[in-house]
């Protein structure tokens, strides 16, 4: 039974001795909001800035990397507003205005500046869960969690369910996670938190969450969280997905936009969002590479090239569409087993060629290895060419059949295939 806030932390695998409790409250009316609770409700960014600014060198803030934040909407009430990862940034004189009081934080004295990021755990409790902060401790607004086992008000505790969220419930749940509604049409609601843009299909309970098609590759990880997906994963096409890439497919007369439709529950939504945010960027030797981005801060050519070099990003997305998510030779349609392979090698291509989808094939990993090493190639009509250096026994083990053909090639593949046959293929 969940009796205290510490019990709730332990249910999520979080040790209370790693958590600082913050009860943001002041009896003094602010210049920009009547209370801290109003600031949290009406100006989330202002609330985060207020929380991120603390007096210099307070050990509880510097030493505790997780903050559990509460506000007081009415006298004696303590409302949970989120669990945060907290990172100390710097100490210095504030050059910004307090979003609550309207004055200079620290009044000219140095203050500590932190960066706090909302965690996925307990997100379903945000704005709902109340706890009993002891009256004797009301003046002590910051405490170590293990030293103050706050009783939970049972009637406010949100019990998780595994029923899929419909569109209206999903919009509400995303808002509690800090997403802002950016646009609403008759078909979809566009929402955004940071760089992550998602859509909610309206008036449907069937996979209403639509994410960038670049996340097709993490379908296996999403399913491990209990997320409902189409198997094998396929694009959802809708012209209202205006922030997502164009979907241009053979025989399609109109240009649509596409994403990846998911079904989520209140028990896995927060973890799903955390996974998407992690998958939206990749750490490389050259630094962090964004793989998806919103329209107001689109991927630069450098980022697109960095992603294409490792077979990711827009280049891969275009190949997934062009080849219907299937290797044309092996018939494998499990996306995590497919590689976005350049026909004309990266080292020999111009930047434009490196991003050209017609310079690519979507190949199963073992086929990609053969193609990359020049052990197989293709004629312009799709006829498979096999190097004489591979034995029949190994071809049999790999499932490679002499005389096989692939379909789906376009005349625009021709120049690249000619280069591969001439400069890469080992006869």
Tens digits of residue pLDDT in 10-34: 877 788 999 999 999 887 888 888 8
149 and 12, same domain (yes or no): yes
Domain containing 62 equals 5-153
User: What is the average pLDDT across 369-398?
Assistant: 95
- The answer to whether residue 295 is domain-embedded is no
Q: What is the pLDDT of residue 25?
A: 86
11 and 116, same domain (yes or no): yes
C-alpha 190/C-alpha 78 separation (Å) is: 32
CB 213 within 8 A of CB 279: no
343 and 407, same domain (yes or no): yes
Q: Please, what is the average pLDDT of the chain?
A: 87
CB 233 within 8 A of CB 280: no
Q: What is the pLDDT of residue 232?
A: 65
45 and 146, same domain (yes or no): yes
- The answer to whether residue 285 is domain-embedded is no
Percent of the chain with pLDDT over 90: 49
207: left (phi over 0), alpha (psi -120 to 50) or beta: left
CB 125 within 8 A of CB 82: no
Q: Which of 153, 178, 200 is the last residue of a domain?
A: 153
- The answer to whether residue 286 is domain-embedded is no
176 and 80, same domain (yes or no): no
- The answer to whether residue 287 is domain-embedded is no
Residue 281 has pLDDT above 60, yes or no: yes
C-alpha 189/C-alpha 191 separation (Å) is: 6
Q: What is the pLDDT of residue 231?
A: 66
- The answer to whether residue 338 is domain-embedded is yes
Overall domain count for the chain: 3
C-alpha 263/C-alpha 209 separation (Å) is: 6
Least confident range of 23-27, 58-62, 96-100: 23-27
Q: Does pTM surpass 0.75?
A: no
Q: What is the pLDDT of residue 90?
A: 94
Q: What is the pLDDT of residue 253?
A: 60
335 and 384, same domain (yes or no): yes
145 and 226, same domain (yes or no): no
């Amino acid at each position: 039974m969940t009796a205290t806030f510490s019990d709730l932390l332990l249910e999520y695998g979080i040790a209370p001795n790693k958590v600082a409790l913050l009860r943001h409250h002041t009896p003094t009316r602010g210049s920009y909001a009547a209370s801290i609770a109003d600031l949290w409700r009406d100006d989330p960014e202002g609330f985060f800035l207020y929380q991120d600014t603390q007096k210099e060198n307070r050990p509880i803030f510097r030493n505790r990397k997780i903050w559990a934040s509460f506000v007081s909407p009415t006298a004696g009430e303590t409302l949970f507003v989120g669990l945060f990862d907290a990172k100390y940034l710097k100490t210095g004189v504030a050059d910004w205005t307090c979003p609550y009081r309207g004055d200079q934080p620290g009044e000219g004295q140095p203050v500590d500046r932190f960066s706090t990021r909302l965690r996925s755990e307990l997100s379903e409790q945000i704005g709902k869960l109340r706890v009993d902060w002891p009256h004797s401790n009301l003046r002590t607004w910051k405490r170590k969690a293990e030293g103050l086992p706050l009783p939970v008000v049972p009637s406010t505790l949100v019990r998780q369910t595994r029923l899929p969220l419909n569109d209206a419930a999903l919009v509400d749940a995303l808002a509690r996670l800090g997403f802002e509604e950016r646009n609403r049409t008759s078909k979809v609601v566009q929402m955004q938190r940071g760089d992550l843009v998602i859509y909610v299909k309206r008036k449907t309970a069937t996979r209403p969450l639509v994410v960038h098609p670049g996340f097709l590759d993490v379908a296996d990880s999403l399913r491990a969280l209990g997320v409902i997906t189409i198997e094998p994963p396929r694009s959802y096409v809708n012209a209202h997905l205006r922030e997502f890439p164009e979907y241009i497919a053979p025989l399609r007369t109109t240009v649509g936009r596409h994403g990846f439709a998911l079904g989520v529950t209140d028990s896995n939504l927060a973890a799903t969002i955390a996974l998407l945010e992690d998958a939206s960027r990749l750490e490389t030797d050259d630094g962090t590479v964004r793989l998806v981005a919103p329209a107001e801060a689109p991927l630069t050519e450098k980022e697109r090239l960095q992603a294409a070099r490792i077979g990711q990003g827009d280049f891969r997305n275009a190949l997934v569409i062009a080849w219907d998510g299937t290797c044309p030779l092996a018939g494998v349609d499990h996306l995590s087993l497919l590689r976005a392979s350049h026909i004309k090698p990266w080292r020999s291509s111009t930047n434009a060629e490196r991003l050209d989808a017609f310079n690519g094939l979507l190949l199963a990993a073992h086929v990609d290895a053969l193609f990359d090493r020049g052990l197989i190639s293709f004629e312009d009509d799709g006829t498979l060419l096999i190097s004489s250096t591979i034995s029949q026994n190994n071809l049999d083990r790999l499932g490679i059949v002499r005389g096989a053909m692939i379909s789906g090639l376009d005349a625009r593949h021709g120049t690249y295939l000619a280069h591969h046959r001439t400069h890469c293929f080992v006869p």
